[in-house]
Structures are given as structure tokens and as C-alpha cells.
Structure 1
Amino acid sequence: MPLNEFEFAQLQGLRKVSADPPLNSFHEKTQEVKSEAVSVTDLTDADANESDYAVSPTDSERSGAGLVKKEEPIIRTGEDVARHLVSIRDDGDSASTFRSWTLGTIFAGLGAALCQIYRFKPMPMHVSTVFLLLVIYTVGNAWAYVLPRRTWVAGTRLEFLSGLFHFINPGPFTMKEHVVATLVASTAASGSSAVMIFAVQRLFYDMRVDTMTAVLATFSTACFGFGIVGVLRPLIVYPSEMVYWKHLSTVTIFQALHFESSSNKNKLRLFWTAFTGMFAYEIIPAYIAPVLNGISVVCLASQRASKSTIDAITNIFGGASSNEGLGLLSMSFDWQYVGSDHMSLPLIQQANSWIGISICYVAVLAIYYSNAWNSRSFPMLSSSLFASNGSVYNQSAIFGAGQQLDTTALKEVGLPSLTGANVWSGFCMNLTIGALITHVILFWGGHARDSFRLARQKTQPDPHYQAMQRYPEVPWWWFASILILSFIAGLVVVVIGSTTLPWWAYIVSLLLGTFITPFSIILAARMGSGVFTSQLMKMVAGLINPGRPIANLYSSMWSHDVVIAAIHLASDLKIGQYLKVPPRVMFVAQIWGTVLGAFVNYFVMDSIVESRRKVLLSPTGTHVWSGQMPQILNSAAVSWSLAKDLYGVNSPYWIIPMGLLFGAIPTFIQWLVWKRWPKIGSVKVDSIMLPIIYMYSAALTHGVTSTIITGILVGITSQLWLRRHHPVWYRKYNYILGGALDGGAQTMIFVLSFAVFGASGVQHKFPHWPGNPARGNVDYCNGNGAFKRRH
């Protein structure tokens, strides 16, 4: 998400570059250029490699000579990424081998398992592709070194085995083999949130979904999204503007591991140093001293305060545990929750998110302490449903054995209540969707039209797209076939499964997901993060399936989850374009990864729900496990199944559906202003991203919130200071460092999850000490008893 037109930082040195070499001879031409290069203040001779020399036809035209002087580019836009950050080099190595598919299959299980573990964490995280690629890289190289090769039997009596040996071990582990194996694993690890629906049925409705139904449903949602992505490739994959910024660390690490050069040796040295250091460090905040996940000076200083004061301080400054508080001024030193996204997301996205977060602090506190929607009767932050007296709502009393609403019981029990933060979250999510659709149409609609035209004419100027023309493209009918198979699989689930969803509602859900998908992907590709669309999906589901929460869940699955799956698959296709993986191999890799992930995700979910059921049903959870994701899904399904009573015109939460309209109108006004005044003062009007602001205005309404300040500081350091004032270091090492930190932290978390956190069924708690308090919140908010009170 680059900040468009952001001011350039001046580089102190100059370099010479070769003018306009052909794409196919880029690597050879680089060798000629290297002999002409002069040193730059921030660049040593040892750091020079082929990606250092930006090639531009414009340079050649301006100079009229073979060599020109050029300043170090600052990475701001998608075009900068395509031309200056990611190498266009293609060694033509084989992507589809026995080794690549075998490794991908094995580690798909690892990735899918880790994905499900994170879905039951206090702050759900994605599985870092860097973690997967590192493990696969290690095993792939060991495979190439240890297993017999055909050269071992050449000229011997066993030469007849050379073909078999070459099939098993074709030699050095190549980059494209590595990419294919990793993308199979990461596709499985992206995890369809459809599996969480089965967790909801187990936890709240005591319904166990059989394995085949679960796999068919997961396959249906993921692969239907893939079919949509195939149709939209000219818009969401081919253009340079479609960057998917979070994945740049993955791309740069692949190239650093496999492209030999002195610069890449420096990158690898930094990578392994950072990876090892974070791996060793992460055991401290994650297990030994969880207090490091949220150090709050205010909480530590208020141990002797009155109970009411401590409660208020916890609401405002606490945030190390799930749903504890807003985490204002807290600092987190646990990288598994901070993550490298702040090192990848461009400044324009982060700046808009900071505005949204600031609004969230004010709004949530104002709603709670003004007692709007009777907020003071419930916890300030919780995604659970409550009765009017503050107890957890007894939803089983109003839904009969057929999981449909019992109106008589509803009159006796009464309507459920939402926390004020939950109301605000729902309102902001609808604001986001209204603004998203309006923004994409008004501000980026022309680009969409041009993208399809350029793809049809095969004149898309992106150098990576042009380099991919040597490989046959995936035929349109392949994607059409996937759409049909996915539709049939879903229809089978609707007919034979316990979904309570009519067939026509299933079709409406797919159409809704198909409509929203391109809008959400475009924002994710340009800005690095999509928006939550589940609120809209559940609202529509509640309207067409009144009184049936299970039907609401499945209806949302075939709309919202299609969008999520499409974003994951589209970003992987972009990685394939950057790294020159043949499109047809990519197609098979993603389908295979989806199928494998469906099986593993289900079995791991089943194991965790069985072993940690009590804590997953708790409204707050612990700092290790949390049921917030299934709780959010269930709360929305139940509440929207009562849409007429809860969200109608004269109902308590009517403001939530109105968010769609309220979100669209300001964006339309912004567009009118932009047409007349593109820039007001130093601010470009189109750099104000209302969808992002609205989305982050609900960022603190659930989960762990102690990471906010740390994330902002990481973003400022990376995207403002390093990118502007040290562009050489930023371009070479920023994404490598972020990927290394993620990989080290997630590798340790995987080990700890099975070794001590109870994912295997047995939990081993670390002994209590001041860094791991015996009771209360780990950041010493809300009266841990660290200091004796005088009251």
C-alpha cells in the first residue's frame, strides 16, 4: 500500500546503469553493468547484484547514451516494486517434480495444523509463509544432498536405475521446486474459516459434522473463490499496481536463497541471524514471561488504587489478555502478535489505520461510560451474547432440536443483548463495506477497465507479466470447471448435510460473495489488507433465513469465506508471477493444497475443541487459548437470525445495518471533492482511505490490544525512516528481516503449542513468578495482587 506521490529522499551517491537491456538477457547484461558501477554512500561493492541496477527506457531516451546516472529508487508504488525490488530473472528451472509435490504434500499438513492452532489464539494470526519456506528449504536441500542421484550410477552396472534416481532426486533443490512446495503448503495453511463453522456447531449446538461433509464444504468455498480469481486475473494479478505487499518478504527471501551473488550472501547472513535470535527469544514472552506481551506502566503503578479505579484503568490501559481492555500506551515485546505486517504495509495504509485506531479508542470508551445500549451491564469488550441481567445468554433455550427459533421460548427468555463495543464493531464493518464498494468504483474503476483491455491485447506493461508470456496460460475452461465442481460440492452439502439452508439461499450466498470478491481483492492487492465482509453477509443471511442461526452460518460461509479464499489464492498467483512459476503448475498446486488443507484443518480443529472446550466457551479466555473466533461467528449468527427484532427500524441496534449507507455517502462526497481539488494543502484527497479508517475504527473491540503502539513504532521505523532515509538498506534488507522475525517466532510457537500449550491434549504451565503471575491479567491490570492494597 504505497503512499502515492510521497516525497523522495535524496541519496548521497550516484551510480551508472546500463540502458534498456532486453528482458531475456537481463542477467547477462547485469554482468556488464557491474564493471561500470560506482559505489554509493549506503552501498558497498560487496552488496552489488543484478537487482541494484534499475533499467528504464526513459533513462535511455533522456541520455541518448549507453550509460546514465540515476538516484537510488525509493520503493513507493507497485511499479517501483516490479522494476526495482523484485528481480525479473528466470533461470528456466523445473517447477513440477516428484520432490516438489512430495515436500508440498508433507508440509501442507504442518501448515494447516498451525493455521488451526492460531485460530484458537487470543489474537488470531496467519501462518507465515516464511516459516513454511524455511522448513521446506532445509529438507529440500537435505533431500538433494542425501538421496542417490543418477550421477552415482553413471557408467556402472546399476546405470539402469539412473532414470529412477533422477525422478526421485533431480539434483540441486531449485527455486521453482521450492516455490511450488511452499505454495501447496501455504494454500493448505491459509485455512478456510469454514472449518470454524464446524467448531461453532460443536461448541454451541452440540452437533458433530462428519468429515466428508466438512471437506466438501471447505473445498466448495475455497475453490469457488479460486474460480472467481481465475476470471479476474487481468485485474487482480497481472498489473504492477497489484502488489499484495505482505508477501514481498516471501518473494525476496526466495530470490535471496536461490540467486547466487555477494549481496544475497549478506541477505542470508542477516536472515539466519535474525531467525535464530527470534526463535531463541520467543520462548520468553510466549511461555516464560508472558508479561512481556503487554507492559503497562499505568497498570503497574496503580496496584494500590481502589477497585473502581483499577477497573477503569484496566478498561483503558489493559490489553495483554483477550478482551481485557483497549491497551492504550501498552508495549508488547512478543513478536508473534506484533508481526512483520507493519514492515510491509505501505505508509498510506498504516497512516489511515492509525486514524481509525484513534477513533476506536474514543468511541469504545464513550459508548461504555455513557452506558449506550446498556453497556455498563456487560463487559466492555466481549463478542458473546448476554441476557439483560449481564449473564451469558442461554441461546439453547430459544432454539429447538431443529435449530430453528422457538418464538414462545423467545418471549419467555427475552432478546439477547450485545456489548456496546460489539455494536460499534458491527456498525464500523458495514461502514467499511459501503465505503469499499464506492471507493473502488469511483477512484479505481478506470483502472479496472484498462486492465482487462491490456490483458486482452497482451500489452500489459508489467515486466513480470511480459516475462511470463513464455509459459502457456491456464485455459479459461479450467477455471470454469472448478466453478462448476465447487458449486456441485456445495449443493451436495446443502442437500445431505445438517445445514438447514435452502438450496436457493445457497445460490444467493454464492452470488453475494461473487459480487463482493473483486472489491475486496483490489483493496488487498493495492493496500495490503482487505476488509471484513462478514457483517454484510450475515445481514443478508439473516434476512433470507430468519430464525435459523445454523443456516445463517452456512450462508455466510458461501459468501464471506469465498472472498477470504479468493484473496489468499490471488496473492499466491502474484507470487507465482513474480517468481516465474508456470501458471498451469500454479493451478494444480493451489487445488491440491486446498484439498489437503480441508482434511487437516478439520481434524486439528476437532482435537482442540475436544481438549479445550471449557476455555473456548469462556467469554474472556486466557492468554494462551481463546474461543473468540467461534464466539464471534455464533453471536452474529444468532443475532442476525433475529434480525427483525434486533436490527429493524424500531429495534435497539438499527444503526448497524444503516452503516452501509452511512459508509457510502462520505466516500461519494470525497470523490466529488477530489475531482475539484485533488490536493488540499499537502494532503492528496485520494490518499484518505475511508474503508481502511472505518475498518480500524473497530480494531480494538476484541482480542489482544497491547500490540498497537509497538506495531505503530515498527511501521514508522520501517516505512517512514528507513524507506525515506536509507532506501538502499530498505530495499535490500527490510523484507528479509521481517520474514526472518516472523519465521523464527512462528517456528517456536509451533513447538510450544504441542510441547506445553496443550494442542496435543496435555498442557504444561510454566512456574509462576513475577513475569508469569499466578492470577489475574498478565500485565498486572485488575488487581493481580502484586502489591498489597491499603484499602
Structure 2
Amino acid sequence: MEGTHNEDTSTADLSSGLVVPHNRSSSSSYPKEKQNDSGMSSVEIADEKVDDAYMQVLDKGLEAPEYRNGVQVIQTGRDVSRFVVDIRDDGDEALTFRSIFLGTVFAGMGAALCQIYLFKPVQMSVSTVFLLLIIYTVGNGWARFFPQRNWVVGTRFERLAAVLHFINPGPFSLKEHVVASLVASTAATGSSAVQNFAVQRLYYDTNVEATTAVLATFSTACFGYGLVGLLRPLTVYPSEMVYWLSLPTVSVFQALHFDTAANHKRVKLFWAAFGGMFLYEIIPAYMFPLLNGVNVVCLASQKASSKTRDIITNLFGGTNGNEGMGFLSISFDWQYISSAYMSLPLVQQANSWIGFFFCYIIIMAIYYSNTWNSLAFPMLSTSIFSANGSIYHQSAVFGRQFQLNETALQEVGLPALTGSNAWKNLASNLAIGGLIAHTILFWGPYAVESFKLSYNGEQPDPHFQAMKKYKEAPWWWYIILLALSFVAGLIVVFKGQTTLPWWSYIVALVLGTFVTPFSTLLVARLGNGIATNQLMKMVAGAINPGRPVANLYFSMWSHDVVATSIGLASDLKLGQYLKIPPRVMFLTQVWGTILGAVINYVVMVSVVDSQREILLNPLGNNVWSGQETQSLNSAAVTWSLAKQLYGFNGPYWIIPMSLVIGMVPTTIQWLINKRWPQIGPISVNSIVLPLIYQYSAWMSAGVNSAVISTLIVGLVSQLWLRKYHPGWYMKYNYILGGALDGGAQVMIFVLSFAVFGASGASKPFPSWVGNPTVGNIDYCNGNGTLD
């Protein structure tokens, strides 16, 4: 993932280093208007200082940059800071009425889209590139068409000049653009807190009050932000803390504002692609849903025997929620393909493909070998069941007080997981164990180096040095935010229907605080993280036995602290790269967090109330799915029965044990890497086992018809375009991806409320061959679909 360079820039995969020109990409375009006595601009002086700081690091014995044929090879975060991201700072305004207004408006749309996708068969994130591009277009329109100060200067209306400047300060600047985009993207980040309230609404007939919901969401998000502030010297300031997935966003920002000559083509491509996808998405999403997953095997199975159709549906079906694994299906629905694989480096995608390969084999093997009594349940589902295959009657076991009734448990029996859901939990623990081992063994030396630099106060990163001219957000701001978040959480614990003891709430925060720096370090350095919420659920079950709702909230506070910390730390790094004053970043992120909490809650209530029956259905359909809430509830219920289900005499004892088992292969890999770092064409350390474990359970629920399509998109973007057309790739790849995501997501937003029933009755499209109303959409009609 590169910054903005000339069209003839060559690139290579991250595993072998990115290749960029030796000379700085935009040094010739630095502003010259502020001259000092020596004739050098202030920006040039800053650049000279950071160059000296960088050379001091080299003098201390650290590795010098490597060149290949006169071209800089980007191998480390230090190289990224020095050669990939432009250090330019035009000193423009950041916090203006226009930036906050635009951020607030698009925060509403982003948060609503995010919440809608949490109730879809495939959970998708709202494209940050889309948000920043649409804000860029609207911001430029604002600057051009709104009245300006110079319109009234020298006239009888000159007294209005200050007001007009407040409303329209002139050209839409980079920093205004970044602030507006960060408000919107912060609000468009989902919170498991809101999903917890959906679980209570669906499964426990508890309508959490809006005030309680907002306080709980504020508590989790802002506690995480407070931690990020205290951890800045370790997780944000150093060069090695790159946050690779933020580089495409940085690239687009700098391309739009630093290379204005080429902007017309970029913006033209954005709106053409956005408009085309907006119009096209109505076809696969509403009129012709068969395009979501075309599978030749399914289409050819119409006259097969019932048993054969069942097997074909389980393996090849995948267009409906929890229908099957979608093997060999091709999706033409961009909302499920998305641009994610246009950004992730090929080495990461290769690890995910290995995981996909094992996923097809493992889940089918578990089901047809009847492991965990799998044949008694649907092959794919995140719900919990009774031993006879019916939906588990949890309300009888836990009652109105949300606490275990031992007598009722004896009558109803223990809940059971589907084989795919059990494997998902097992693979999650394998990944967590592998994460711990991989971080310590492969990334430990880098962590030690970062700690030393932080402890000694030596941060030679050129972007950190360039930020010293701005007032830092003081430590006590973050400490006050931590205190407010803690108090807000206590209010929820004492006044809300959480059943969580106050001391357990504190344990949850301590656990989240402990895990945060390790998870953030991994994402910052590797670009991809591992979900640690399974660890939180295990601890919750151990200290809150028999209390499923309490476990929901324990996991919320412990895991959300980690998740929000990672996202907000990435934004802080983006702010450092783009020279946003730290105090403005603080206000921007807190405002975005509060907006997101309110809007997410409102949209959640609307969707849950209007689609209750579908969300409770273990299978869902191709439009709505309760798999996320089902998964949260299943974990809360089963881990509240940890002794009975996960103890050594329980049916799922291997799941907690896999936390330790996951460390062993990574340890062996590390030993092999010490002796044979290169085996044939493969670098041993490029194999990331935790990622493989995670993707080996990727198709355990939901719509699975887009996997092959994402693989094709990844190969076209990251192999063909990036290798053979690097100039086009760097100019247009991220712009195109953001436009396609935006067009699809805005149409889904419109359809959700217009015809999908997000706020009332749905209006299905008339039945025809491309939209069958009987059976599965892809014509894989096994497992009694036509009954």
C-alpha cells in the first residue's frame, strides 16, 4: 500500500518490500510563501530537522535504507515515514464550521449504513475512501457556490464578511477534509454495545432505554480512546507503527490535495463509477438476486436425488444466509465483494486463501462425520439448539432475572452448538494463541525497540518531528476522558439491566486494558488483527457463571475497549501523517464517537422492531440475518454454562484448550525460520498462522457466495494492476474501490428503508427466474427447502 508517486513508480509485494523512487515525491511542491532570513521556507527547515533526526538513528547503528537499481525499497515503517508519506504541511485550517457540519451530516449516513450491515447476511464495513471522496466533492461545491468573504468586501454589506468567512472560509483544504472524514468514519464504526442491546431486545424482551444505551456506548468507546491517548508514545508516534490499511486513505487525501492537476480525472472516475454502481446495485440486490451467487453445480442439480441435492446445497449453495459454503459460486453483487481486497497486500490475501481452502474441508468433514452431533442441526448457524435439533428454550432456563435456574436446566437440558459454530469458536482460540506466540516470537524485537525509544523520549519519525509545532493534547484530557467513561459505565452497571456486578465491570476494563497494547501493536505493524473477543467470553464465563446477560456486558466492555482503541489509534496515526493538530483530533474523535452511539442505537431499534421474526430465525434470508446477534447470544449462554459445556467432562472441552494448542505450530514455525528462513520461493515468516486459523472458519455462517469473486478482485488489483500497471494502480485503484463501495452501499441504504422493510413492511420484487420466491435464490434446493 503505497503513497502518491509519479506514474512510472514501480511496486512490489509488501513481503519483498515496496519500491518507490529515491527522491521525495512532492518535495518540489512545498509551499514557498513563508521565507525566513536565510531564504528557506519554514517547511523546508522542518524537513531539514527531521532529516537530521533520521540520520541520527542511522548513526546509532540501525539499518540504512536499501536501494535496488537506484530505487528505494520500502521494508520498514521507518522507510514508510521517510519515503512513502509526504511530510508536507500547508498550515491550513482544520477545525471549521464547514468541516464539522459536513462530518456530522455524513456521520449520520455512515453510522446508519454501518448498523444496517450488522443485520445483513455478510457484515461489511462502510468504505472510508467512499466517505472521504463524497465529502471532498460536497466540500468543493460548498467552497465554490456558497457566498464568500471577498464578495462583500468594499460593499455596504462588508459587516457580513466575518460571518461569510465563518461559513465559507475559502477553498476546501486538506485538513478540513480530514477532520470531516474522521468525524464521519468514527461514527461509521460499529459498536458491540449496540448489538448487545439488540440481543436483549430479541432474546430477553428487554428494551434498554436510550440514555442507558448511549452511556454504555460512550463508556466503551471513550475508555478505549483514553487508553489510546496514554499509549501514544508506543502505538502512534514511532515510525514502525504504520497501520498499513490507513495508507490507501492517506494516499487518496494527498493525491486529491497535493496533485491538483490530475484531480479532474480522479473525480470524474469516482462519480462515473459511483453512479454506475448505484444504478447497477438495484439489479443484484433487488431485481435479480440470483446474480449474488451463480453456481453451475446448483443449476444442474434440479433433477438430482434428495440426498444428492442436500450434499450439493451444503457445499455449493451460498446465496441465502446459512445455506451452504458457496464453493465455486461467482457473485456479481459488489456489496458483498467490496474493495477490501483492492487494499490488502497480496501476502495477507494469500494467507486468507489458505484458510479458505481448509475451511471447505474442515466444516464439511465435521458435519458429515457427525462430530459434536452435527447432523442433528443445520450445517451452518450461529444459534443454539436443544439435543433434538429444536431452538433452545433459553428463557425457561434463565428466567426473567437472567440467571441460571438449575432445576430448569435439568428439565430442558444443555444447549448445543452446530458443528460449524463450534469450529468457529475453536479456530478463534487457535488464532488468539497463535497471535500471542507470533507477536512475542516474530515481532518481539520490534516491540522492545519501540519501548526503548518511547522510554528514552527518542522519536526520530519525521512526521512526529513535524508535529512538534502544534500544541499536544495534554495527558490530563485523556485521564479525564477515562474517568468520565468509567463513571458512565458504573451508572449503566447500577441502573441498567446488566446483572453485572460492579467488581466484574472493573475486571472487564482491566482485561481490555491489558490486551489493548498487544492487539494494537499487531495491527499497527502487520496491518491485520485477530479477534480477541473469544478470550473475553471465556473469562466472562469463568467469573460470571450462570449469567448470560452479565457475560454480554463483560465481553462488551473488555472487547470494545480493544476494538475501539485499534480504530482510534489508526486515526491518530493518520492525523500524524496528515499533520492534523492533536487537540483537533481529540475533539473530532470524541464528537464522532458520540454521534455514532446515538445514530447506531436509533437504527438498531428500527431494524429489530420491523424484522424481529427474520432476525430470530436461525437461517435468515438473503436480505436480513440475525447471525451477529445470534452469535453474541449463543456465546453468552454457552459460556455462562462453562463448567458444564467447556469443562473436561463437557462436549466442547477442546475449545478452551485450543488457546494453548494454537501457540505450538507458531513456535515450531519460528524455530524453522531461525534455521531455514527461506524454503524455495517462500519466506517462512510470511506465513501467518493466526490469519490462516481465522479464515479457516470464515464460512461458518452467512452468505458465502462471494469468496471466489473476492479472490479474483484481489488478484486483478494486487497482482495484475499493481505489478503491470503501477501508475494506474496508484492513481486510481483506491478511488475506484471507494466509488464502487459507495455506490453499492448508498443504494442498499435506500433499498433497506424503501423496499427491504428496515422501518416497516417489505415490498419484495415480483417472482421470476432470477428472483425465485420458492426455494433458495441460487436453485440449490436441498435440506427440505422446497417442503
| Conserved? CA contact 2:320–2:622, under 8 Å | yes
Letter in 2 for 1:281: Y
Where does residue 697 of structure 1 map in the other structure? 696
CA 1:270/1:311 → structure 2, altered by over 3 Å: closer, same or farther? Answer: same
Q: CA deviation at 1:698?
A: 0.9
1:593-641 deviation line (CA, Å, top 9, x unaligned)? 1111111111111111111101100001111111111100000000010
Letter in 1 for 2:249: T
Matched, 1:360 2:359: yes
Across the aligned residues of Structure 1 and Structure 2, the Cα RMSD in angstroms comes to 2.7
Letter in 2 for 1:505: S
| Conserved? CA contact 1:321–1:778, under 8 Å | yes
Name the CA distance, whole Å, in 2 between partners of 1:784 and 1:400. 33
1:128-159 deviation line (CA, Å, top 9, x unaligned)? 12332233233323332333222122112222
Where does residue 5 of structure 2 map in the other structure? none
Where does residue 200 of structure 1 map in the other structure? 199
| Conserved? CA contact 1:123–1:704, under 8 Å | yes
1:225-265 deviation line (CA, Å, top 9, x unaligned)? 11222222233323444333333333233233333433333
1:362-398 deviation line (CA, Å, top 9, x unaligned)? 1101100000111001000000011111111111111
Matched, 1:27 2:37: no
Letter in 2 for 1:603: V
Where does residue 139 of structure 2 map in the other structure? 140
Name the CA distance, whole Å, in 1 between partners of 2:249 and 2:760. 33
Name the CA distance, whole Å, in 1 between partners of 2:68 and 2:372. 64
Name the CA distance, whole Å, in 2 between partners of 1:487 and 1:579. 31
CA 1:5/1:565 → structure 2, altered by over 3 Å: closer, same or farther? Answer: closer
Q: CA deviation at 1:28?
A: 5.9
> Secondary structure of 2:384's partner?
coil
Q: CA deviation at 1:71?
A: 5.9
Name the CA distance, whole Å, in 2 between partners of 1:460 and 1:263. 35
Where does residue 319 of structure 2 map in the other structure? 320
Count of aligned pairs between the two proteins = 748
Matches within 5 A, 1:532-681: 532-681=531-680
| Conserved? CA contact 2:186–2:593, under 8 Å | yes
Where does residue 16 of structure 2 map in the other structure? 6
Matches within 5 A, 1:167-316: 167-316=166-315
Matches within 5 A, 1:61-76: none
Name the CA distance, whole Å, in 1 between partners of 2:396 and 2:784. 39
Where does residue 33 of structure 1 map in the other structure? none
Letter in 1 for 2:695: Y
Where does residue 706 of structure 2 map in the other structure? 707
Letter in 2 for 1:120: F
CA 1:85/1:763 → structure 2, altered by over 3 Å: closer, same or farther? Answer: farther
Q: CA deviation at 1:460?
A: 3.6
Where does residue 159 of structure 2 map in the other structure? 160
Q: CA deviation at 1:753?
A: 1.8
> Secondary structure of 1:381's partner?
coil
> Secondary structure of 1:95's partner?
coil
CA 1:403/1:120 → structure 2, altered by over 3 Å: closer, same or farther? Answer: same
1:667-719 deviation line (CA, Å, top 9, x unaligned)? 22222232333223332222111111111111110111111111112112222
Letter in 1 for 2:359: C
Matches within 5 A, 1:49-128: 78=77, 81-83=80-82, 85-128=84-127
| Conserved? CA contact 1:246–1:341, under 8 Å | no
CA 1:338/1:156 → structure 2, altered by over 3 Å: closer, same or farther? Answer: same
1:403-451 deviation line (CA, Å, top 9, x unaligned)? 1011001001110111111111110001111111121122112212222
Q: CA deviation at 1:82?
A: 4.0
Greater Cα shift, 364-373 or 73-82: 73-82
| Conserved? CA contact 2:313–2:782, under 8 Å | no
Where does residue 482 of structure 1 map in the other structure? 481
| Conserved? CA contact 1:197–1:630, under 8 Å | yes
| Conserved? CA contact 1:74–1:724, under 8 Å | no
| Conserved? CA contact 2:17–2:75, under 8 Å | no
> Secondary structure of 1:213's partner?
helix
CA 1:720/1:77 → structure 2, altered by over 3 Å: closer, same or farther? Answer: farther
Matches within 5 A, 1:500-539: 500-539=499-538
Name the CA distance, whole Å, in 1 between partners of 2:232 and 2:535. 25
Name the CA distance, whole Å, in 2 between partners of 1:514 and 1:25. 44
Q: CA deviation at 1:174?
A: 1.4
Q: CA deviation at 1:402?
A: 0.8
| Conserved? CA contact 1:773–1:784, under 8 Å | no
> Secondary structure of 1:774's partner?
coil
> Secondary structure of 2:417's partner?
coil
Letter in 2 for 1:342: Y
Name the CA distance, whole Å, in 2 between partners of 1:456 and 1:472. 21
Where does residue 48 of structure 2 map in the other structure? none
Percent identical among aligned pairs is 64
Where does residue 4 of structure 2 map in the other structure? none
Where does residue 347 of structure 2 map in the other structure? 348
CA 1:478/1:7 → structure 2, altered by over 3 Å: closer, same or farther? Answer: closer
Q: CA deviation at 1:73?
A: 6.3
Q: TM-score, normalised by structure 1?
A: 0.90
| Conserved? CA contact 2:384–2:392, under 8 Å | yes
Name the CA distance, whole Å, in 2 between partners of 1:72 and 1:623. 49
Letter in 1 for 2:622: H
Letter in 1 for 2:123: P
CA 1:215/1:461 → structure 2, altered by over 3 Å: closer, same or farther? Answer: same
Name the CA distance, whole Å, in 1 between partners of 2:642 and 2:498. 19
CA 1:513/1:785 → structure 2, altered by over 3 Å: closer, same or farther? Answer: closer
CA 1:730/1:71 → structure 2, altered by over 3 Å: closer, same or farther? Answer: farther
Name the CA distance, whole Å, in 1 between partners of 2:299 and 2:15. 44
Name the CA distance, whole Å, in 2 between partners of 1:651 and 1:256. 57
Letter in 2 for 1:688: I
Q: Which runs of 5+ in 2 are unaligned?
A: 2-11, 33-50, 59-66
CA 1:227/1:507 → structure 2, altered by over 3 Å: closer, same or farther? Answer: same
Q: CA deviation at 1:768?
A: 1.6
Q: CA deviation at 1:72?
A: 6.3
Where does residue 128 of structure 2 map in the other structure? 129
Where does residue 47 of structure 1 map in the other structure? none
Name the CA distance, whole Å, in 1 between partners of 2:121 and 2:487. 36
Name the CA distance, whole Å, in 2 between partners of 1:601 and 1:677. 50
Greater Cα shift, 667-676 or 682-691: 667-676
Name the CA distance, whole Å, in 1 between partners of 2:775 and 2:167. 55
Q: CA deviation at 1:189?
A: 1.0
Greater Cα shift, 199-208 or 351-360: 351-360
Name the CA distance, whole Å, in 2 between partners of 1:575 and 1:8. 19
Letter in 1 for 2:388: N
Q: CA deviation at 1:283?
A: 1.6
Q: CA deviation at 1:548?
A: 0.5
CA 1:327/1:495 → structure 2, altered by over 3 Å: closer, same or farther? Answer: same
CA 1:456/1:149 → structure 2, altered by over 3 Å: closer, same or farther? Answer: farther
Letter in 1 for 2:207: R
Greater Cα shift, 520-529 or 646-655: 520-529
Name the CA distance, whole Å, in 2 between partners of 1:239 and 1:26. 26
Q: TM-score, normalised by structure 2?
A: 0.90
1:155-174 deviation line (CA, Å, top 9, x unaligned)? 12222221122112211221
Where does residue 687 of structure 1 map in the other structure? 686
